Structures are given as C-alpha cells and as structure tokens.
Amino acid sequence: MKQYIVDAFTDTVFKGNPAAVCIMDSWIDDDLMLSITRENNLSETAFAVKENEKYRLRWFTSGGEIDLCGHATLATAFVITNFYEKNIDKIVFDTLSGDLTVHKKGELFELNFPSYDLKSVEITKEIIDAIGVKPLEVFIDRDLVCVLENSELVKKFEPNLEKIKLLDGLLLHITAKVDENSEFDCISRSFAPKLNVAEDPVCGSGHCHLVPLWSYKLGKNEIAAFQASKRTGTLYCKLDKEKNRVSLRGKAVLFAVSEIFI
C-alpha cells in the first residue's frame, strides 16, 4: 500500500505540520489503521477511499480516531490532486464532522470546516498551574482555549503535559493577539497529550476554535494566523458567521512517498 507524507500549511519541507496519507481502494481494519498510525509516529495519519463522487476520509492519532483534522485534510487533498485526480479543483470529503469541501486555487488549498461554539469558563487554579500564568480569558468547546496577554508568552510557553492532561477539553490551545505591525492577527500553539501528541505543529481544527474567537475580538472576518511551534505554520482564515463555517487556506509540500508492507 502506498503512503505519502506531506507537510501542510507551509511551502517548505520540514515546516508546517506533517501528515501521512493513504489513498486506498477499500477499507482495511481499524486496528491496522491504528497500527500504521502508531508506526508513523506523526500527529495524524489520514486514510481515504473514494465512494461514488466523494472520498470517505478518516483521521487517526496514536491515541485513536478523531472527529476533525485540518492539516491531514489539506495533505489528503494535496495527494489526490497531485497523484490521483490531477484535473480536479474541488474535493468533497465524507467525514465524522459531515461533508468537508476543499477547493484547489493555484498552490493554495481552501478547506471549509464547521466552526466551534466557544463558551467562556472560569479561570481555575488548575488552569493557572498547568500553563504557569493566569490567562486573560478561557473558553471551551471540543478543546480548551486560553487567551494570554501577549505573543511572547505564547512563544516561550513550556508545557507540562501531565498537568495539561488533567484539564477539560480534548486539546489545549494557547493564543494571543500579535503586535499591530505584524502581518498576522493572532498567534497560537496547540497541545494534545490526551491523544499522545505533545505539541501539534499546526492545528487546523484548533483554528476552527480560534478564528471565531479572534474574528469577534478584532471585528474582522478574515484572520491571518501564525502557529508558533518549532516547525511553524501559516493559515489564512475566514469566518462565515451565517453558516457557522470557517475557511482555512494554506499550502502543502511533499516530503516522501513510501510503500507499506502489510
């Protein structure tokens, strides 16, 4: 079985977020998909099968299957349009989060995802202890989002993964507004120890939390977002308030093609 490794939300190898992608003729056992994912030791491995006019897409971390993953969706679209169906510029994925549409626009891929509905929650001692500083605000939906005072706190953050595991939410995102002279609107980092992922280099589903938040705070629908992991990543985002959807645009680059022997 052929497998591709693609760096998503970047145009440079060794940056962005790497995902493994397997485009299959038919489904293999869930346990085998999980074993392949654990062998890859990346944050996510994507598996897709074309069913009629759509691709059924599933995402796995080493901790199990998840309901939404942005960078692995972008990586899968990159693989399909470069190696399987070179003449298409639109893909509809059937996923656990419903139909997700990806448009190819030159070198950019535009992903259309559902946005999360954040609710403000109390700043607890456990949160302060886990992140080492008192956040300005804390919100939750699928993930926990902590708004920090400035971008330097985000960049310098040293995660305590065991304490983060005890917090509510599937992932933890820390975020802040950037300086006015920056090309970006917000900065963030994402941590997923509950999924056996220490730090997600660039988290697409995380920005389905962050874009609605910063759109409201900054009074604008288009957000340029910077993920400040060691690999770094860039996302160009747009909020559709009426449809409760988020568009994420980014590039991708191929790192490797391999053959899996199973």
pLDDT along the chain (262 residues), means of 10: 97 96 98 98 97 96 94 98 97 97 96 96 97 97 98 96 97 95 95 94 96 97 97 96 94 98 90
Range of the domain at 126: 119-243
Structure tokens that stand for 14 in this block: 């060794």
Whether residues 136 and 105 fall in one domain: no
Is 44 a residue of the active site? yes
Whether residues 60 and 173 fall in one domain: no
Residue partners of 198: CB distance under 8 A and separation at least 6: 159, 161, 191, 192
Q: Are 135 and 226 in contact (CB under 8 A)?
A: no
Closest C-alpha to 147, from 123, 171, 126? 123
Query: Which pLDDT value is given to residue 84?
Result: 98
Whether residues 211 and 183 fall in one domain: yes
CATH code of 147's domain: 3.10.310.10
Whether residues 167 and 124 fall in one domain: yes
Whether residues 97 and 50 fall in one domain: yes
Kindly name the residue from 39, 44, 51, 126 that is annotated as catalytic.
44
Whether residues 100 and 6 fall in one domain: yes
Amino acid in the structure at residue 169: G
pTM: 0.91
Amino acid in the structure at residue 236: Y
Query: Which pLDDT value is given to residue 262?
Result: 84
Exposure string (b/e) for 27-42, b if CB count within 10 Å is 16 or more? eeeeeebbebbeebeb
Residue partners of 207: CB distance under 8 A and separation at least 6: 70, 188, 225, 235, 237, 246, 248
- How far is the CA of 94 from the CAs of 65, 91, 134, in angstroms? 15, 10, 40
Domain count within the chain: 2
